[in-house]
Amino acid sequence: MTDAHCHLSCGDATIRELVVGRDFFGVHPWDAPRGLGEEPSIDDLASSLRRALAANPAAGVGEIGLDRLRERAIPPGMREAFEAQLAIAVELGRPVALHGAKCWGQVVEAVKRVLGRAAAPRPGQAFLFHGFSRSDGLVPDIVRLNGYISVGPAILNGHAVNYRALARKIPGDRLLVETDRTEGNAAECPSVRDVLAGLAEVRGEGVAALEAQTDANAERFMASVSAP
């Protein structure tokens, strides 16, 4: 059983967790500088990311991305921090955990742009679209980018009709489950097993088969790390 994205361990040794700060390193869009030239500078941010990745050769980059949950316009510093970190991930061939609340189209475009600029993109490099909740129109682009989509606790909400419809359309070999467990939501955060069971029901699949599938997907996603 794999929780593909969380910030805090649930402490269950039978669950493999991909934890930000242990398996992934990067500056979250909420913590990114807002204006250009603001602290931390993009150079500082880039060198600390390179240091963390050098010290953790099996780790990925994330969660990084863009965000329009807190304000409508994306601050230029946030965009610059995202693209600088994404470029390092592409250069080093590390798996990337992406955040794109209310601006997934822009995140997909940025990934395409940075990959297009890369001197030598690694063919196996993979991207995790975490907390993805946009309609299914972007799914083919995500698949083409060697992307995975992780389904979260929202799947347990019977009223989340669009989210459930999206979850049915994600190809099986691109599917992951996550809790996005954090300090703030730890108390009411459902177990990743509940998320898996909810997703199996929505997709009309067996829980054991879906567990095996999502475990294999997580394995493939993390194994996309290139040898240094």
- Name residue 199's amino acid: L
Minimum CB distance to Zn ion, residue 20 (Å) = 6
Q: Are the beta carbons of 65 and 98 closer than 8 angstroms?
A: yes
The residue among 7 and 122 lying less far from Zn ion, judged by its C-beta, is 7
What does the per-residue mask of binding to Zn ion show for 132-171, with x meaning CB under 5 A? ----------------------------------------
Tokens representing residue 31 in the block: 């913590």
Q: How many residues bind Zn ion (CB under 5 A)?
A: 2
Of 42-61, binders to Zn ion (CB under 5 A) are none
Nearer to Zn ion, 89 or 203 (CB): 89
| Closest approach of Zn ion to the CB of residue 155, in Å | 16
Number of Cβ within 10 Å of residue 185's Cβ equals 15
Helix (H) or strand (E) holding 166: helix 161-169
Least gap, CB of 158 to Zn ion (angstroms): 24
23 contacts Zn ion (rule: CB under 5 A):
no
Residue 180 near Zn ion by CB under 5 A: yes
The residue behind tokens 């995790």 is: 128
* Closest-CA residue to 97 (of 5, 189, 203): 5
Tell me the three state secondary structure of residue 32. Answer: coil
> Where on the chain is the footprint of Zn ion (CB under 5 A)?
63, 180
